[in-house]
Amino acid sequence: MTRLLALLLTLAAGAAAAQETTETGTGALLRGLDKLNGRATDLEVRSGNSTEFGRIEITVEDCRYPQGNRAGEAFAFLTVREMGTAEPVFRGWMIASSPALNPMDHQRYDVWVIRCTNS
């Protein structure tokens, strides 16, 4: 029983050490791609605000990055809606270095996170 308790405490300590401390940016730099014409556009959106890109509206809820490393791994919580549709096309965390991990699935547009902003 003592060995089991020691194992559980060791696993819990390892999981806590693996969590990275983050800072919150004031917004996010996103890149939108119109797949129909092949145009990519950079979009700077402040947290809590929205922007239109073609026929979609992108809202940045939050953007975070590793503490003390603004150029590091950014991840943002986004809501993407098609104009005139209440149900989001995408709602969730998107990671800058791994956009395919939680991709937005839209027939015409693609959006991914470049980095967090602090201005």
Which tokens belong to 44? 């700077």
- The pLDDT of residue 19 is 65
- The mean per-residue pLDDT over the stretch 59-71 comes to 88
Is the pLDDT at 16 greater than 60, yes or no?
Answer: no
**How far are the Cα atoms of 6, 37, 52, 64, 111 from residue 40, in angstroms, in the given order?**
53, 9, 14, 23, 9
Of 20-24, 72-76, 79-83, 94-98, highest mean pLDDT: 79-83
Residue, of 56 and 70, whose pLDDT is higher: 56
Closest CA to 37 of 108, 89, 111, 103: 108
Closest CA to 79 of 47, 34, 39: 47
Is the pLDDT at 116 greater than 60, yes or no?
Answer: yes
Banded pLDDT at 3 (limits 50, 70, 90): low
